[in-house]
Structure formats: C-alpha cells, structure tokens
Amino acid sequence: MGNSVASTTLERTPWHYPLSRIWRVYFGSGSVLNLRCSRKSPLSFYIQVLSLSYGRCRFGASLCSSSMSAADAFKKHGVVPDVVPNGPSKLVKAVFDSGVEVDCGNVLTPTQVKNPPKVSWDAEPGVLYTLIMTDPDAPSRKTPTFREWHHWLITNIPGNDISKGEVLSEYISSAPPPNTGLHRYVYLVYKQSGKISDPEHGHLPGNSGEKRGGFKAAAFAKKHNLGDPVAGNFYQAEYDDYVPEVYKKLG
C-alpha cells in the first residue's frame, strides 16, 4: 500500500517544474541571461551551456525589436551620452561570418567578431553615408582614458554598399584588455549631404593602433555637418583568448 501511494505521488509530482522554471528564468525571452546565440551554430550553443558560458547566448526575439528601440537601447547602456547626444531611430544590421550578429547590446566574443561583418541599413538611393565603429570604453568603462578608440571608419558610401566607400580607418576587431570587463562596440551610420574629405585623418591601416584612441564620433560628425546618426547598433565584448592575436597584429 505504501509503495503504491508513493508511486502514484511520484507520477503526479511535476518533477520537471523546477527545471522548466529555471530554464525560463535564465534562458527565456526577457531572461536575466537574455543574450543571443547564432541559430547557425547549434554546436557552439551546447559547448557554451556545458562550459556554463551562458553570458554568450540568448534565445527568443531580437533585443532591439522585441523589448526596445535602438534609441532606447543606446540610452539604457549609456551610449547616449557617452558616444552621441541622440540615439538613432533605425538599426544597422551587422552579421559576422561566425554566424552571430549585433543586437542592441548583446554579448559577443572577440573570437566571434575577428573578421569584418556584413553591414547594411535602410539607405536612400543616390545618398552617401559614413559608417563608424567605435569603443567608448578604452581601456575600461570605469576609466575610459582613450575614449573613444575607433575600430572602423568608412566615408562616402553609396547607399549601404560599404565596398564602394572610402576607407579612412581599416577594420580592427574587438580586443578589450584582460580584467577590464565588458566594452561597448558601437556602430553608427550618418547621412552625408555630399562627398566629404578628411586629409587630416588620413588613412589608418588595420595593422596599427596609432591614432585610433581619443577619437570622437560626435566631433567627427560635427566637423563634417553630418547631424545625428540615422542608424546604429552595438554589442558588448570582454577579453578572450583571441585578443593576444589582435595585439600581435598591431605590433
């Protein structure tokens, strides 16, 4: 009799409930670990879960579209006012060959973003644009001595075809120093009223960090009468074992 009752009780007990609740809290949409994994890389997801690297993943809809606008995300994470006085109304889409994409402050790794992403935005035909990628948290968010350290700068882009723009600063991937926490990597797109030239800035190669620090996206925009950014996005990243490779490249 006792065994029968115990068996019935076990069968009726929702033993899965605590696990399902934990899953929703930590991995569900709007969860405390609401960070995005690439749908193209299921293997990396399982590796991350097994290694307890939950901070790399997010499930559910886009952070930008589901919970906040780009402008709201910029304010929430301090990109406004740390980088620009006003946030953009539209999104920049940036997808890396590792399968991950930029999504309003999601956490990515330097390994995932080592190569330049494919970048696009809602562009008007016949209009030129400027694209900036910048880090306001160099060397750390607590002590941003080199704010901003810019990673990429392309001007005179016809529409959103960055391959036809003028590269002033070649792409350097995220390389936050160890023990400096998360850095924000901000993508900004500005609409130009015409072609611009900046011989003072010159051309900065991708194998040198010279003249990268102390850059101000807002000051560059003001200098060339670009106004506020028309589109933007950003992700966060901290040190991983790929960063030393970037430092070697920079010399």
147 and 77 share one domain: yes
pTM of the model: 0.78
151 and 194 share one domain: yes
> Can you tell me the distance from the alpha carbon of 45 to that of 219, in angstroms, rounded to the nearest whole number?
40
57 and 72 share one domain: no
pLDDT in tens for each of the 251 residues of the chain?
A: 445 444 444 444 444 445 544 444 444 434 444 444 444 444 444 434 443 334 444 444 566 754 578 899 999 999 999 999 999 999 999 999 999 999 999 999 999 999 999 999 999 999 999 999 999 999 999 999 999 999 999 999 999 999 999 999 999 999 999 999 999 999 999 999 999 999 999 999 999 999 999 999 999 999 999 999 999 999 999 999 999 999 999 98
The residues, any chain, with a CB within 8 Å of residue 7's CB and separated by 6 or more, are none
> Can you tell me the distance from the alpha carbon of 251 to that of 241, in angstroms, rounded to the nearest whole number?
17
Identify any residues that bridge with 172 across adjacent strands, giving them in sequence order. none
49 and 73 share one domain: no
**Structural domains in the chain (count):** 2
Range of the domain at 122: 68-250
What φ, ψ does residue 190 adopt, rounded to 5°? -115, 140
Residue among 143, 151, 214 nearest 188 (CA): 151
Please answer whether residues 31 and 25 qualify as being in contact, where contact means their C-beta atoms are separated by less than 8 angstroms.
yes
- Sign of CA pseudo-dihedral 210, 216, 219, 221: positive
19 and 84 share one domain: no
8 and 111 share one domain: no
126 and 162 share one domain: yes
